[in-house]
Amino acid sequence: MKNKYPKYYSFQGRKISKKISLPKKNLINKYYNDFSFDQDVIECLNNDKINRKIDIPNRYDITNIEIGFGNGEFLIKNAISRPNELFIGVEVYLNGIAKVLESILDFGLKNIILSNLNSFYFLEAMPHKSIDKIFLINPDPWVKKRHHKRRLMSYEILSLLNKITKSKNSIYMTTDSSDYLRDTVSLLNEYKDSFGSFSSSILKKNDELYGISKYQRKALENGGKIYLLTL
Ligand SMILES: C[S@@+](CC[C@H](N)C(=O)[O-])C[C@H]1O[C@@H](n2cnc3c(N)ncnc32)[C@H](O)[C@@H]1O
């Protein structure tokens, strides 16, 4: 997927360049643009003087965004079971994009929009108060202290998420890292005036977001817990 604007696709200053097989590459080249508005997002970002935002299809009851969907398991499952809702998935990892594209074609899904852009840029092009729910399922915890600045949960991203959601208690982050949870809670407490209230809990077996992704299950198999932060 060659593009003129590599900066919008780069993550931590580098392009995610894990090997991708030729069939997956061909699949992306053939179908990706049918299920993505990345080019429009880039136009918005390049026109920030007029501050244009993306037009989100308005024929759905609910608009969801999942950031960092990995292999897309949660995204696909929800898109299949809730055809009246729109699921926008943002993922820099191309193999994940290919995997979801395969499922979109296999199941004939119409309610998924994909983005391969770095979510920091993608979110900037979303209209204010346009999104019903946002999911961040086990974002990379970057455990080493010197890598903490790479974490997704930052003041900047929280500001963007807050701006684009329609109401409170609609941003859901899960993590198996108590350290990441604690640091995010500290950040939220520090900026309580900007972000308002939040709640955290340990997920139980019957909870909707329990065990719903590869990273979550890996943590559970290793005896870990899954924490949920709602804001
Ligand atoms: C630890 S994995 C979790 C994947 C999946 N949610 C799960 O639980 O199995 C984090 C994912 O977030 C993606 N990611 C990290 N930073 C991102 C960013 N700035 N924008 C979009 N995706 C990002 C990574 O490529 C990776 O697939």
Could you state, in order of their start, the residue ranges of all structural domains in the chain?
6-230
Is the Cβ atom of 213 under 6 angstroms away from ligand 1? yes
Rounded to the nearest angstrom, the distance between the alpha carbon of 66 and the centre of ligand 1 is 10
- Between the CA of 144 and the centroid of ligand 1 the distance, in Å, is 17
Nearest CA-CA partner of 198 in 163, 169, 160: 169
Give the residue, out of 12, 69, 175, with the most ligand 1 atoms within 8 A of its beta carbon, to mutate for a pocket test. 69
Structure tokens at 168: 């409170």
Model confidence at 13, in pLDDT bands (50, 70, 90)? very low
> Over 60: is that where the pLDDT of 117 sits?
yes
Residue nearest atom 15 in ligand 1 by C-alpha distance: 68
pLDDT tens, residue by residue, 54-70 = 999 999 999 999 999 99
Q: How far apart are the first and last CA of the chain?
A: 35
Give the pLDDT score at 8. Answer: 82
Measured in angstroms, how far is the CA atom of residue 59 from the centroid of ligand 1? 28
What type of residue is 148? H
Over residues 88-102, mean pLDDT = 95
Distances in Å between the alpha carbon of 40 and those of 44, 118, 125, 229? 6, 15, 9, 32
Helical packing angle, 94-107 and 73-81, nearest 10°: 20
SS3 state at 190: helix
Provide CATH code, domain 6-230.
3.40.50.150
Q: State the CB neighbour count (10 A cutoff) for residue 147.
A: 12
CA distance 172 to 92: 20
Catalytic residues: 140
Q: What three-state secondary structure class fits 21?
A: coil
Phi-psi region of 211 (alpha: psi -120 to 50; beta: other; left: phi over 0): left
- The closest residue, in CA terms, to atom 25 on ligand 1 is 93
pLDDT-based confidence at 17, cuts 50/70/90?
low
Chain-wide mean pLDDT for the chain? 93
Tell which residue, 141, 143, 132, has the closest CA to residue 226.
141
For residues 222 and 194, give the distance between their C-alpha atoms in angstroms, rounded to a whole number.
Answer: 36
| Predicted local confidence at residue 225, as pLDDT | 98
DSSP string, 85-117: EEEEEE-S-HHHHHHHHHHHHHHT--SEEEE-S
7 pLDDT band, cuts 50/70/90, is confident
